Amino acid sequence: MADRQDSGMTDAQIWEKAEHTWAVGAQEIARLAGTIDRGTLVKCVKMIAECRGRIVTAGLGTSGAAARKIAHSLSCVERPSFYLSAGDAVHGAMGSVQPGDLAILISKGGGTRELINLLPALEKKQVPVIGVTEKPDSPLARASELVLRIAVEREADEFNMLATTSTMAVVAVFDAICIALMTYTGYTREQFGIIHPGGAVGERLLGKNN
């Protein structure tokens, strides 16, 4: 393997890049209250709360990482959820999705082929889709019952290409949805203690450190 050349960056310049990344992310998170459609977010909370099946999340790349986190967070507030690999889904794993479930599909551009391939099966199974995308006129958006548009002005990298702040924004929006769900569904500390007895959080919930 060829030796990697030193870029010549100073320690101060490395730190400046870190600060820049955090500043851009903070700016984009602060913009969400003015860019997310209030009615759409409220409807999203209600759809998830009223789902009597499971919530299925899917995405590719960094959207897939966000989808995994969202599924975990929803499960933590007693909304049974799981991440579905889009690749596995079209090779039989779609059998894990059943009528009564709800799908959250995440694609920045709304045209991710692997996700679009899931739509016919979801329609036949009568599983409604919440499409999370920047593009309200995309194939994903057109096939979704609800379109949650999440857009950022820029990513943190100098090429404005690496999905950094955009992924952070998606996670932040669904963090807000989960917190709203806790109140909307009457979620209690006791419920959280049952499903999260481990670690420092479990100790706090069970009163071991009180």
Predicted confidence band at 190 (pLDDT cuts at 50, 70, 90)? Answer: confident
The verdict on residue 16 lying in a domain is: no
pLDDT digits (tens, 9 = 90+) for 103-131: 999 999 999 999 999 999 999 999 999 99
The verdict on residue 60 lying in a domain is: yes
The verdict on residue 171 lying in a domain is: yes
Query: Whole domain around residue 108: which residue ranges?
Result: 22-187
Predicted confidence band at 185 (pLDDT cuts at 50, 70, 90)? Answer: very high
Longest dimension (CA), the chain: 58
pLDDT at 188: 81
pLDDT digits (tens, 9 = 90+) for 53-78: 999 999 999 999 999 999 999 999 99
The verdict on residue 4 lying in a domain is: no
Residue 206 has pLDDT above 50, yes or no: yes
pLDDT at 1: 42
Distance between CA 132 and CA 186 in Å, rounded?
26
Mean pLDDT of 40-48: 98
Instruction: At 157, list the tokens.
Output: 């990298």
- Residue 187, helix vs strand vs coil: coil
The verdict on residue 5 lying in a domain is: no
Q: Assign residue 36 the CATH number of its domain.
A: 3.40.50.10490
The verdict on residue 118 lying in a domain is: yes
Which residues does residue 73 pair with via DSSP β-bridges, in sequence order?
A: none
Total number of domains constituting the chain = 1
The verdict on residue 163 lying in a domain is: yes
